[in-house]
């Protein structure tokens, strides 16, 4: 199956700093990537849809200025948590569909990034 | 927004037993998918069932879909300790290129 790589897997930062998480499609091109957030023992909440070459589409209630998404190439989307605070601590996961498999509808996920803000 | 609701939230069984997880959703769908997540890891796709299908099998997995009741079930037969994970249903709405909407998940624990 298609491979999505996410980095870093774990990051600890001080309150007020910014953290960048990268999501790469390794063996396919992704014009669209999806960013999810997962709280402990909870489901995945869709944060935003990242669109290559254009602005991301954010879900209701997600702060655009807090969670900056950039999709500068067909294989890379980044999520930057700006001025992070302890309440931003969470598990962030990216995903994408493989255009070579248009009929499956399957999402391929990165391994996730655990953010801890002190 | 949340679409699916899994039931039960947690399930503990012995190896060899069958595990059944249920999922209900709210709106019309194009297909419904089940994913598995090991603790602290990304999600892995298990099986997809389209809105015009009623049942599908893949190895030890059996999925059913009842669009009239807006519900689905995932059956894992002859469970193994390695099946211990969280299982999520996800709905794909009738819109091309959109994200999946995930349910709350069922945490399955299989003891040997």
Say whether the peptide bond before residue A17 is cis (omega within 30 degrees of 0). no
Give pLDDT, residue B94: 59
- Count Cβ atoms below 10 Å from residue A103 Cβ, excluding itself: 7
> Are residues B92 and A41, on separate chains, in Cβ contact within 8 Å?
no
DSSP characters over A97-118 = --TT-TTT---EE---EEEEE-
Q: Chain B closest CA to A22's CA: distance in Å?
A: 14
Mean pLDDT of A85-104: 90
Asked if A43 contacts B102 with a C-beta cutoff of 8 angstroms, the reply is yes
- What's the distance, Cα to Cα, between the start and end of chain B in Å? 37
Asked if A47 contacts A35 with a C-beta cutoff of 8 angstroms, the reply is yes
Give pLDDT, residue B5: 74
Give pLDDT, residue B96: 61
State the virtual CA torsion across A6, A10, A16, A20 in degrees, nearest 10. Answer: -20
Lowest mean pLDDT among A1-5, A77-81, B80-84: A1-5
> Are residues A43 and B41, on separate chains, in Cβ contact within 8 Å?
no
Mean pLDDT of B22-28: 91
Interval B47-98: pLDDT, tens: 999 999 999 999 999 999 999 999 999 999 999 999 999 999 999 875 666 8
Higher pLDDT, B46 or A99: B46
Q: Least CB-CB distance to A93: which of B42, B92, B101?
A: B42
* Residue A113 reports pLDDT greater than 80: yes
- Count Cβ atoms below 10 Å from residue B13 Cβ, excluding itself: 17
Mean residue pLDDT of chain A comes to 94
Give pLDDT, residue B105: 92
């Amino acid at each position: 199956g298609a491979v999505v790589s996410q980095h870093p897997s774990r990051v600890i930062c001080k309150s007020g700093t910014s953290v960048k998480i990268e999501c790469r499609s390794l063996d396919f091109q992704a014009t669209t990537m999806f960013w999810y957030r997962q709280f402990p023992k909870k489901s995945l909440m869709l944060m935003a849809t990242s669109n290559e070459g254009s602005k991301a589409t954010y879900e209701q209630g997600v702060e655009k200025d807090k969670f900056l998404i950039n999709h500068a190439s067909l294989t890379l989307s980044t999520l930057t948590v700006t001025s992070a605070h302890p309440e931003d601590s969470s598990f962030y996961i990216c995903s994408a569909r493989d255009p070579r498999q248009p009929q499956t509808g399957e999402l391929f996920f990165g391994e996730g990034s655990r953010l801890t803000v002190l | 927004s949340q679409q699916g609701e899994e039931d039960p939230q947690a399930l503990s069984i012995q190896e060899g037993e069958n595990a059944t997880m249920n999922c209900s959703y709210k709106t019309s769908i194009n297909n419904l998918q089940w994913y598995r997540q090991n603790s602290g890891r990304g999600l892995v796709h298990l099986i997809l069932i389209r809105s015009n299908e009623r049942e599908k099998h893949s190895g030890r997995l059996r999925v059913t879909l009842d669009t009239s009741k807006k519900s689905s079930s995932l059956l894992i037969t002859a469970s193994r300790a390695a099946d211990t994970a969280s299982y999520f249903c996800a709905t794909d709405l009738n819109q091309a290129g959109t994200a999946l909407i995930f349910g709350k998940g069922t945490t399955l624990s299989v003891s040997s």
